[in-house]
Structure 1
Amino acid sequence: MYRLIAVTLCLTISFTGFALTVHAQSGGDSRSDTGPALAVAIDRSVNRGIDFLQSRGQAADGSFSGETGAAVTALCVDAILKNRPQAIHDPVIQNALKYLESKFQGDGGIYETGSLHQNYETSVAVGALVRSNRDGQYDSALKRAELFLKGMQWDEGEGAETSDTAYGGAGYGKHKRPDLSNTSFFLDALHDLGNGPEDEAIQKALKFVLRTQNLSDEGNDTDFAGKVGDGGFYYTPAAGGQSMAGESDSGGLRSYGSMTYAGLRSMIYAGLTADDPRVQAAMEFIRNTYSLESNPGMGNAGLYYYYHTFAKALDAAGVEVLDDAAGNPHAWRAELANTLIAQQQDDGSWVNKKSDRWMEGDRQLVTAYSLLALAYCRPN
């Protein structure tokens, strides 16, 4: 049921030290309603999701989906504590932390022995440990993890010059090239550890991030830069380039939603502001493809990863209301919250029933994504 509002909105959207005023004629629907009722609904949904993880999601060794090493367990810890900080002393969290501690490696990484996902596991583990750190108990482990992650970055240490399309990026390890998803996890970890835009590793990563944007003459000096030109982001320019959304007829790498939000967040962490043409181009793609029905360009694949990345990026950008291509304003926090609440399963979990690509058939992982996204949806 749609509710028409015959008023003109004047919105102030702030990005990292810059305020952008946007005027839009309202024509939204009831999903954009905000206020106490929404907060209550979010809390109820979050509690059901946490109860699922606590009662049905954890194995005897403290892990959540232990075959992924530290990754899913770390995401679940982060998701619970971001919504319920007082749970730090609960046995479920303490057992999960012991499991993560069992993945501390001699090189400073936090991953399963023999893992091909060392950057990913360590990066998300850093987020969980930062949130769990009490009385400095993880200070040493976090410093070592930071050195490990920076040591894995593709730069001069790997023989990469600044002109190399891999330069500055981070990758899983199973492929011999970095990608934007892993680079955004890497930047999340550095940000969580308190590193600002002046950090050398963050500025190196920015060089890689900009080469994943479909925008010419603004940092993307690859052959793909101007072939699509929509301001969105793709997976990687390295080792010949790849987009999970495929290639365009012109031979370009198609942009898609989840990577564009990852790119936006990464640029913000690297100090770019709302008046920067690269940020403006990313926001234009986001306005033109705004959707909570699918991961733009990817359909149902990676939908919950998309929801989490969408929420984290728009929150980092300070965006409260976003106009779509037709000029309709969207109060994204309320719309996303109601979307996730409607998709929650009877047992309190979430799962991608339409696509299990990228492990989205795993209820623990998808529930973690959903709880993390909901944490950004509470009305400010």
Structure 2
Amino acid sequence: MQCKHRPSFCLSLCASAFLMACCQAIWIQQAQAAATEEASRISKLVDSAVGFLVAAQDDDGSFSKDAGTGVTSLVATALLRNGYSPEEPLVAKSLAYLRQFVQPDGGIYQPGSTHRNYETCIAVVAFHEANTDGKYDKLIANAESFIKGEQWDQAEGIEPSQEAYGGSGYGSHSRPDLSNTSFLIDTLHTLGRGDDDPAIQRALIFVSRCQNLATKYNDTKYADLNPDGGFYYTIAAGGSSQAGSEEDGGLRSYGSMTYAGLKSMIFAGVKANDPRVKAAFEWAQKNYTLGENPGMGDSGLFYYYHTFAKSLDAIGEQEFVDDSGKSHDWREELVAEFAERQQPDGSWVNSNVRWLEGDPNLVTGYALLALSYCR
């Protein structure tokens, strides 16, 4: 087909198209090179951490067993999610250790544990990640029944109108909390349970009541006192926040629980335009940081990194725009933070020992889990 315009105009069009194609090709090459470089950076961090864990693992396959089975489960899951197979000695030994604690009631915990629900939840995730050939099907099914049985609901005489309803706790039956309830939802989500699962919907009731936001889902006494959209530790047993209280009695929101609440709502099927999700997202925009656990300083910092990464991964956006309009490549920034904080031996550890974050085995597990969402 002949060009109907002047030859010079046609040449100009061809040149422009060629230039655009070249620019696009260069941009694609640059993006691919950046992605390759980032993947290499993550791999180096992970490899160094694995070197530490090989030396830190006890002969029986455990990590920090004096703290229960939880650290071993968390580390095993982190390794599996970073590409290590169930047959790798480091992983296989951990799984063999955990199997010793499968109880007749389906739970996976040390006898006498006061954290049996928490320990079972994270053990189930580890076995699910390793269940490539169905060998753990029965174990997982029994454990799922156990953790659902631990949920606070009518089976314990708790009615939907009561503030503890739908929540999960450590397993000592003192009271449920948002952290353990988010572990329940995470576990069920990992097992492929949809937002129509009754246990997830019961849990959503509890999660919604731990938010500083008055909605039709939350008419608790704290909902209007500090309506910033963030989340606190628990509404049960009178309510409490690890970040403390306002002068009027309102419970302060903080980072790790707000991201735990946000991802729990997403996994429970709450849509982006729902007031609960919108308010939580806006809180995250106002408090975006990797320098601390917002509202808590360096307390629970690496637990915060894990919930931060899992929540933003669940949202599904590469870029996160804070309330000032600044765009963050949150994965790249988190990887850089971990590179800065990694110890010479490959581990990570928090100088603030609260919530066991002085244990490098636990903290390295948190870091590896967070990095698994950065790939």
| TM-score, normalised with respect to structure 1 | 0.89
SS of the residue corresponding to residue 280 of structure 1 reads helix
RMSD: 1.2
Matched ranges for 1:30-69 at <5 A: 34-54=34-54, 56-69=55-68
Matched ranges for 1:132-281 at <5 A: 132-174=130-172, 176-281=174-279
- Segments of 5+ residues of structure 1 without an aligned counterpart are 1-32
Shift of 1:34: 4.9
Tell me: CA distance 1:180–1:268, structure 2 relative to 1, closer, same or farther (3 Å): same
Match of 1:308 in 2: 306
SS of the residue corresponding to residue 111 of structure 1 reads coil
| More contact order relative to length (CA 8 Å, sep ≥ 6) | 1
Letter in 2 for 1:293: G
Letter in 1 for 2:358: G
* Matches of 2:325 and 2:185, distance apart in 1: 32
Whether contact under 8 Å (2:163, 2:206) holds in the other structure is yes
Shift of 1:220: 1.3
- Segments of 5+ residues of structure 2 without an aligned counterpart are 1-32
SS of the residue corresponding to residue 330 of structure 1 reads strand
Matched ranges for 1:6-155 at <5 A: 34-54=34-54, 56-86=55-85, 88-155=86-153
* Matches of 1:321 and 1:168, distance apart in 2: 33
Match of 1:14 in 2: none
* Matches of 2:216 and 2:117, distance apart in 1: 28
* Matches of 1:363 and 1:127, distance apart in 2: 21
Shift of 1:175: 5.5
Whether contact under 8 Å (1:34, 1:334) holds in the other structure is no
Letter in 1 for 2:52: F
Instruction: After the TM superposition, list the runs of 4 or more consecutive aligned residues in structure 1 that deviate by more than 6 angstroms.
Output: none
- 1:341 maps to which of 328, 333, 339: 339
Match of 1:23 in 2: none
* Matches of 1:194 and 1:239, distance apart in 2: 31
* Matches of 2:295 and 2:345, distance apart in 1: 30
Query: Is 1:359 matched with 2:356?
Result: yes
Shift of 1:81: 1.0
Match of 1:368 in 2: 365
Structure number, greater radius of gyration: 2
Shift of 1:169: 0.2
Match of 1:22 in 2: none
Whether contact under 8 Å (1:119, 1:152) holds in the other structure is yes
Q: What are the Cα deviations for residues 109-131 of structure 1, in whole angstroms up to 9, with x where unaligned?
A: 00111000011100000110000
Whether contact under 8 Å (1:334, 1:377) holds in the other structure is yes
* Matches of 2:34 and 2:349, distance apart in 1: 26
Whether contact under 8 Å (1:233, 1:263) holds in the other structure is yes
Match of 1:26 in 2: none
Match of 2:16 in 1: none
| TM-score, normalised with respect to structure 2 | 0.90
How many residues align? The count is: 343
More strand by share: 1
Shift of 1:36: 2.2
More helix by share: 2
Whether contact under 8 Å (2:302, 2:350) holds in the other structure is yes
Q: What are the Cα deviations for residues 190-249 of structure 1, in whole angstroms up to 9, with x where unaligned?
A: 111111100000000000000000000241111000100000000000110000000011
